[in-house]
Amino acid sequence: MAPRKSESSRLVLKLTHKNADALAASLTTEAEFNDIEGTIEVTERAASMVDLRARWNTLMRGLIASEQVLGITGGNE
């Protein structure tokens, strides 16, 4: 059965990136995460699917912006 929009939800995102430490730093104020050897595991929880979708959008915009900046700077920290 599909979750209802009003049900609490959790999302776990795992990603690997050559500059995982820098991307993880960009998440410091945005989400709960673990950074282990080049892999970031982000966990998001929300009271509803609508709230989780909003958190997902914010998280992805932040990661995309950070990745683009890393591309411009060549990943130099």
CATH number of residue 26's parent domain? 3.30.310.50
Residue 53 lies inside a defined structural domain of this protein:
yes
Count of the separate structural domains present in the chain: 1
Q: Domain residues for 57? A: 9-72
pLDDT of res. 39: 94
Give the integer Cα–Cα distance in Å for 18 and 14: 14
Residue 34 lies inside a defined structural domain of this protein:
yes
Residue 68 lies inside a defined structural domain of this protein:
yes
Burial of 65 (0-12, 13-18, 19+ CB in 10 A): exposed
pLDDT of res. 3: 61
Residue 52 lies inside a defined structural domain of this protein:
yes
The answer on pLDDT for 77 being more than 60 is no
Q: How confident is the model at residue 75 (pLDDT cuts 50, 70, 90)?
A: low
Chain segment 6-50, per-residue pLDDT in tens: 778 888 999 999 888 888 888 888 888 998 888 999 999 999 989
Residue 2 lies inside a defined structural domain of this protein:
no
